[in-house]
Amino acid sequence: MDIDEDFKPKIYRQGSYYYVEFLLRAEKCPCCGKYMVEEHQHGVFPYYCRGNQESQMEKSGIVFISFTEVDGKRICIECNDSGKADIKCSLCEKRKKTDMVEESIGWPPDYLCKDCYKTVTAKVWDDKVEELNEEHQYDFE
């Protein structure tokens, strides 16, 4: 069974209202194990509903996925923001907590840390950013 092709949304009725159950692909966070979904600018969940996306995600323990990759796997926004995982800085080559990311470039991303941003000269920083931009110039094509 191919769940993407075979799934049929369920429709429920309560009084004069109808509710639809959709299929949404999720991944597990490699750090905390929570299920993660992509955050989209324009979702189908209206904010005026008590059962909006935020409340449904909170009830089920689902979180948004971040753009931070740790060892080739994306992590959730909560682990990213709290620094639970670590990345390798492309400038100092040291492993840093995810909350220490100053800049990420490309996909999969290369990272530059806040410590390097504060301590290296502007020329060293700019040269590294330029180098990484050149390396990643075709990532999104």
Spell out the per-residue pLDDT of the chain, length 141, in tens.
677 788 888 999 999 988 888 888 899 999 999 999 988 766 667 666 777 777 888 889 999 999 888 878 899 999 988 888 888 999 999 999 888 999 999 988 899 999 999 999 999 999 999 999 999 999 887
What's the pLDDT score for residue 98?
A: 85
Closest to 78 in 3D by CA, of 36, 138, 132: 36
What's the pLDDT score for residue 22?
A: 82
Closest to 34 in 3D by CA, of 57, 1, 11: 57
Closest to 82 in 3D by CA, of 61, 66, 106, 105: 66
Closest to 89 in 3D by CA, of 77, 74, 78, 103: 103
What's the pLDDT score for residue 44?
A: 63
For the full predicted model, state whether its pTM sits above 0.85: no
What's the pLDDT score for residue 53?
A: 79
Those residues whose C-beta lies under 8 Å from the C-beta of residue 96, and which sit 6 or more positions away, are 86, 87, 88, 89, 111, 113, 114, 115
